Structure 1
């Protein structure tokens, strides 16, 4: 990294702090400077277990961030290390978790590695009575971890980043709660809508807005979501009430419900995947109110299988979903092992779990099932 690149990155921090540059652009300069897979900057309110803000420049898809918020943050072995850091203190994952640990750990095997991640070096930039601001510099699978020279460069940049945050002061803490989740939904390829128990649409990402505008099987009227057929509309209302009316912590709480909605066109059906977003379970990333996240899957969109939707349909981990999609594309276990950089034994073990969860027994059955999304996944007939 030459002096000009360093100065450009530092200038980016102060531009972002004063609002003349987006933080994601400033972090992209940092990422390029050290050839990182991803650079994350986020703040956590430790007293409420709540994400206050989060920005990143990353090769990881938005689906990975959503999976992390909804599920995998609970089993991230690195989290406890990060929140225990003192201001200005660094931690490097490989000093705590060796290859043997990684090979057996669910977080690494089911989430981080399938999404392309591997190593992280992190520093606590700011720490007060409640707030921790963490910077993470990540290297991807197949890349070397940061060496001593690169860590020194990161440390120099981090000092300027901390100063820039100080310039920005409390502004970041006053950012709208829930913006972390909303921002990542905008980057999802799948149509996603956030709704409350009264079916009011709180947010729809671009893919969902385009789908709702067609107003076919499902649309929007008076700010509320509605289905074309009265029976489907009633089913949606009942599902939302069941999903969102149960108090947090209740043993009978339901976290996901799958439905179908028929369109005005003969035979056209969409699958509706409803998930409860309970603030305490998802780091308050979508605000302080319990909402439902609706993923919409149209018949015929199986032509480009999305591992994220396949995982949602069959309760697969990201690792299992990637293997399922590769299998549906006709890849052999040996080919999958090579492309995913895992052993054939691991692929075969994942396939057994996939067959069990999808209630199939052979590759051809799995291919047929995924080709019939969404209806086959929901156990419904069009």
Structure 2
């Protein structure tokens, strides 16, 4: 029987929590210590392998997803017991006859030279995860004594996952905030299409469209919703790339048009335990039209003529051009601008343009 170096494995898991690039190697260390042939972490919320797995299971994991085996995985019947007991193995829910008849064992696992597993179940802030350690046919099943040793890894696993999740959420939020600094509305979505984080610019565009219960974006227009969902799914499954992002124009229930670019977070191992999969970039709404004029008048007490000039300044850039577009003389425009400065508290045209753009996004 193998004797696991729990202290060493605990340190490796903690290193992975601090540096996401270490997760594949740390899981490889866990697998080797347990006499396994690879290990991978599964999120129970999606039934799909996460970005965290040892390198020797890359081919098997890809086949698991592509072949739809996550929908035919016999081992999922053991998940409730694994979460309750901490550890579960094949012998807990199946027998030799069932294994001989099972397509999952014979057509999938055998194809990749695997058969036996030990699953370690734990939760991090309510989310359920299972660390699946694989063994080949020759390596044989996990013994009861080995499963008792594996239980000692549950606490270090949960602690590492919790720390990794906290740090990853900080990275996700930092990504959204950084895009806000350059005037880019953005939303980060998880693998289920739920909003993980949204910056203030995007919040101003679509806040009323986000279901507070499901945290999903509900456009209200069926055709646009289908287009948006397809766009997001393609990104979440890694079918898009920053150099060639998928783009779609959609309309919401209020008739507003949104141009959305979806980008796959190919570096999603940087965000372990968050489910971050896709970045949606929204085209900033141009502050034009009667509705935005009314908003300016209500916000700052501008007259209709002053509101028209203020909007023209945002788009035109110069007072002379704004005067021309509004069919007023330059001197009249200067008079309006002085009144606008007084009412908004601004002193320069650039400050005024930035203020109006922020208010009307």
TM-score interval, smaller chain: 0.3 to 0.5
- Pick the structure with more helix per residue: 2
TM-score, normalised on structure 1?
Answer: 0.43
Q: State which structure, 1 or 2, has the greater radius of gyration over its C-alpha atoms.
A: 2
